[in-house]
C-alpha cells in the first residue's frame, strides 16, 4: 500500500465546495481523506508539506494536438504528455487531425497505446466527425466511441455542410458524446490571416471578420435546438459567440464551450510587426472581444479553459505572415496565464480551478476533476505566488512556437500527480521508465 499525505494545503475543490486549509491523504491511487483536522501520516507514507500551496484536482485540457501519428517532428504522444504534466495537466483530449486522421478504431488504439507507453497522464482521443476530415461522409462514431474516443470533432476545420452537421448532432445522441466544433465559415474567412480590424488594415493583411465564427455558432445552435444533441464549441474567440452561447444556455440547450488562454490574454495588436507566433485560428481578436471572453469566464458561460496546444516547427513560423501556419503551444503556459486573471482580480481562485479541472471533466464526462474520497488521485499542486519567466527553449513540448517567450508569470506548477503517482516535481519529470 502506498500513501501520500499533503499537509496544510489550501485545497480548492469546486465540485465539493471545498476551499480551505486541509490535509489530503491519498492511498492506492485514490483520494482517501480530505480533512480540516491534521491527519497522521500512515507508516511509509510520503509526506508533502504543502504550506502556502494549492492542492487542486488535476487539470484537464479538452483541446490538444499531439501530432502523432504523422508529424512526430512537432510532437509525439510522449512529448505531449511530458508538456502536459509539466503544465499541471493530468488528462488531455487529443484532436483527431493527425496525419493519418483519427477516424477509425485503429488510429484511436494507436494513440491510446502510445499513451500507455508514455505512462504519464491520461490521454483521451477525440474521433473525427467525417472520414478524413473531408466534411463529406460521417465516420463510424460507434466504432470510435467503442475504441475510447470521448468526443467527435473535425477540429481545425468546420463542418461547412449544414445538413451533415445536423445529422451528426442527431446521430451522436446514440452515444451521448459531445460534438466539438471549430466554428469558421470558410467563405467569410477565406484569404484572411488575422482578425479583421484596425490592425489588419494598418498591416495590410486580409482580415477574418468575427462573423466568420459567430455565424457558424448561430447556425449550430439552431441545429442543436432542433436535434436535442450535445454541442461543444471549441476555442471561442469573440463577443458575438459568447453572447449567443450564453442565451442558448439560458434556454436549456446542451451547449458547452471552451476558451483558450491566448484569446483571453492577447488581442490582435499582438501581431505587432507580423509576428507569426501570434497567428492562430481563430485569430486573436479585438480588445472588446477579450473583455467579453473574460466576462464569460466569470459568469459561467465558459465551461473550460482549453489550450488548443498546437505544436509547429521553427520553419513553419519563419515565413511571411500570410504563409505562417496557425497555432501556438499552450500546455506549459496555461496555468500562468489563467492565474494572471486571478492576480488581476478577474477570476477567483476557485473559479480558475473550476475552469481548468472540474469544468472540462464535466463537459466531456471524464473521470477526475474533483477530490472527493474515492476519486482518482489526479492532483496538481500549485505555487500560486512563484514568479518565473517563460523560456520556450526549456519546454518539454517538442515545439517552441509561443508568443509568451520571455513573459514573466506569477504562479507555477509545483507537482503533478496522476493516479497517486508523482509524475512532475519542481520542474523535473518523474518518469517511471
Partner 1 sequence: MRHLLGIAGWRRDELEALLDRAQEHLPGGPEASHVLRGQVVANLFFEDSTRTRSSFEVAARRLGADVLNWSFAGSSVSKGETLLDTARNIEALGPAIIIIRHRSSGAPHLVARHVKCAVVNAGDGAHEHPSQALLDAFTLRQRWGSLDGRTVLIVGDVLHSRVARSNLVCLKALGARVVLCGPPTLLPPGLEEMGGEVTHRLDAVLPQADAVMCLRLQTERMAEAFLPSQREYSRLFGLTPARVERMKPDAPVLHPGPINRGVELSPAVADGPRSVILEQVANGVAVRRAILERCAS
Question: In the complex with partner 1, which residue's Cβ is closer, 83 or 215?
Answer: 215
Can you tell me which of 125, 197, 368, 411 binds partner 1, judged by CB under 8 A? 197
Q: Can you name the residues that pair with 382 across neighbouring β-strands? A: 54, 413
Of 313, 316, 328, which is closest to residue 404 (Cα–Cα)? 328
Minimum separation from the CB atom of position 305 to partner 1 (A): 30
Question: In the complex with partner 1, which residue's Cβ is closer, 191 or 374?
Answer: 191
Per DSSP bridges, beta strands 46-49 and 255-259 are unpaired
**What is the Cα Rg of the chain in Å?**
21
Minimum separation from the CB atom of position 205 to partner 1 (A): 5
Q: Mask: binding to partner 1, 296-335, rule CB under 8 A, as x and -?
A: -------------------x--xxxxxx------------
Residue 145's φ and ψ, nearest 5 degrees, are -65, -40
**Residue 287 in the binding site for partner 1 (CB under 8 A):** no
Residue 143: which H helix or E strand, with range?
helix 141-147
Within 139-158, the residues that bind partner 1 by CB under 8 A are: none
Per DSSP bridges, beta strands 408-418 and 207-208 are unpaired
**Residue 204 in the binding site for partner 1 (CB under 8 A):** yes
Question: In the complex with partner 1, which residue's Cβ is closer, 116 or 206?
Answer: 206
Whether the bond into 69 is cis, omega within 30 of 0: yes
Can you tell me which of 199, 338, 375, 383 binds partner 1, judged by CB under 8 A? 199
Part of the chain binding partner 1 (CB under 8 A), chosen from 37-45, 51-59, 190-198, 254-262: 190-198
- At residue 184, the 3 state secondary structure works out as coil
**For partner 1, how many residues bind (rule: CB under 8 A)?**
21
- Answer positive or negative: Cα dihedral of 374, 416, 81, 96: positive
Question: Which DSSP category does 313 fall into?
Answer: -
**CB burial class (10 A; 0-12, 13-18, 19+) of residue 145?**
buried
Minimum separation from the CB atom of position 202 to partner 1 (A): 6
275 catalytic per annotation: no
Angle, vertex CA 124, rays to CA 19 and CA 167, nearest 5 = 110
- Answer positive or negative: Cα dihedral of 218, 196, 355, 153: positive
Q: 421 CB contacts (<8 Å, ≥6 apart)? A: 29, 430, 432
Can you tell me which of 105, 118, 121, 205 binds partner 1, judged by CB under 8 A? 205
Of 39, 13, 43, 9, which is closest to residue 25 (Cα–Cα)? 39
Question: In the complex with partner 1, which residue's Cβ is closer, 72 or 316?
Answer: 316
Can you tell me which of 201, 228, 394, 408 binds partner 1, judged by CB under 8 A? 201
The one catalytic residue in 155, 289, 303, 308 is 308
**Residue 203 in the binding site for partner 1 (CB under 8 A):** yes
Within 246-275, the residues that bind partner 1 by CB under 8 A are: 273-274
Question: In the complex with partner 1, which residue's Cβ is closer, 44 or 320?
Answer: 320
**Residue 359 in the binding site for partner 1 (CB under 8 A):** no
Mark out the alpha helices in 228-348 (DSSP H runs): 239-250, 261-265, 287-299, 314-317, 334-343
Calpha distance 218→234 (Å, rounded): 14
**Residue 428 in the binding site for partner 1 (CB under 8 A):** no
Part of the chain binding partner 1 (CB under 8 A), chosen from 135-143, 163-171, 195-203, 213-221: 195-203
Question: In the complex with partner 1, which residue's Cβ is closer, 134 or 323?
Answer: 323
Can you tell me which of 46, 116, 206, 228 binds partner 1, judged by CB under 8 A? 206
Length of the chain: 433
End-to-end CA distance of the chain: 21
Minimum separation from the CB atom of position 191 to partner 1 (A): 9
Question: In the complex with partner 1, which residue's Cβ is closer, 185 or 354?
Answer: 185
Minimum separation from the CB atom of position 344 to partner 1 (A): 26
Of 383, 381, 370, 366, which is closest to residue 417 (Cα–Cα)? 381
- Rule CB under 8 A: which residues touch partner 1? 196-207, 273-274, 315, 318-323
Q: Which sequence positions are flagged as catalytic?
A: 308
Amino acid at each position: 500500500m502506498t500513501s501520500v499525505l499533503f499537509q496544510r494545503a489550501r485545497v480548492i475543490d469546486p465540485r465539493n465546495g471545498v476551499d480551505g486549509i486541509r490535509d489530503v491523504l491519498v492511498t492506492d491511487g485514490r483520494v482517501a481523506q480530505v480533512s480540516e483536522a491534521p491527519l497522521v501520516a500512515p507508516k511509509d507514507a510520503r509526506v508533502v508539506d504543502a504550506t502556502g500551496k494549492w492542492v487542486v484536482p488535476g487539470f484537464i485540457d479538452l483541446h490538444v494536438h499531439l501530432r502523432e501519428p504523422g508529424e512526430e517532428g512537432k510532437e509525439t504522444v510522449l512529448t505531449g504528455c511530458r508538456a502536459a504534466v509539466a503544465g499541471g495537466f493530468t488528462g488531455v483530449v487529443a484532436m483527431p487531425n493527425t496525419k493519418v486522421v483519427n477516424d477509425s478504431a485503429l488510429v484511436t488504439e494507436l494513440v491510446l497505446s502510445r499513451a500507455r507507453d508514455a505512462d504519464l497522464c491520461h490521454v483521451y482521443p477525440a474521433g473525427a466527425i467525417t472520414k478524413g476530415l473531408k466534411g463529406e461522409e460521417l465516420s463510424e462514431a460507434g466504432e470510435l466511441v467503442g475504441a475510447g474516443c470521448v468526443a467527435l470533432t473535425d477540429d481545425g476545420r468546420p463542418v461547412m455542410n449544414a445538413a451533415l452537421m445536423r445529422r451528426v448532432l442527431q446521430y451522436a445522441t446514440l452515444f451521448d458524446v459531445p460534438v466539438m466544433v471549430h466554428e469558421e465559415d470558410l467563405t467569410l474567412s477565406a484569404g484572411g490571416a488575422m482578425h479583421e480590424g484596425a490592425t489588419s488594415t494598418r498591416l495590410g493583411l486580409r482580415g477574418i471578420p468575427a462573423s466568420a465564427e459567430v455565424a457558424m455558432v448561430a447556425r449550430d445552435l439552431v441545429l442543436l435546438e432542433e436535434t436535442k444533441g450535445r454541442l461543444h464549441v471549441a476555442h471561442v474567440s469573440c463577443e458575438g459567440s459568447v453572447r449567443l452561447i450564453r442565451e442558448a444556455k439560458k434556454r436549456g440547450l446542451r451547449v458547452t464551450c471552451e476558451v483558450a488562454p491566448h484569446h483571453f490574454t492577447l488581442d490582435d495588436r499582438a501581431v505587432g510587426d507580423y509576428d507569426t507566433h501570434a497567428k492562430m485560428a481563430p485569430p486573436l481578436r479585438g480588445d472588446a472581444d477579450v473583455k467579453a471572453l473574460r466576462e464569460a469566464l466569470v459568469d459561467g458561460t465558459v465551461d473550460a479553459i482549453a489550450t488548443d496546444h498546437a505544436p509547429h516547427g521553427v520553419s513553419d513560423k519563419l515565413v511571411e505572415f500570410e504563409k505562417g501556419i496557425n497555432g501556438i503551444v499552450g500546455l506549459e503556459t496555461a496555468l500562468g496565464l489563467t492565474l494572471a486573471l486571478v492576480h488581476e482580480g478577474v477570476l477567483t481562485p476557485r473559479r480558475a480551478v473550476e475552469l481548468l479541472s472540474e469544468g472540462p471533466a464535466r463537459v466531456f464526462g471524464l473521470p477526475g476533476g474533483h477530490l472527493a474520497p474515492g476519486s482518482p488521485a489526479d492532483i496538481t499542486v500549485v505555487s500560486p505566488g512563484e514568479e518565473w519567466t517563460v523560456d520556450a527553449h526549456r519546454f518539454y513540448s517538442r515545439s517552441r512556437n509561443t508568443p509568451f517567450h520571455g513573459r514573466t508569470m506569477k504562479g507555477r506548477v509545483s507537482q503533478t500527480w496522476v493516479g497517486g503517482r508523482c509524475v512532475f516535481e519542481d520542474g523535473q519529470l518523474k518518469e517511471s521508465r
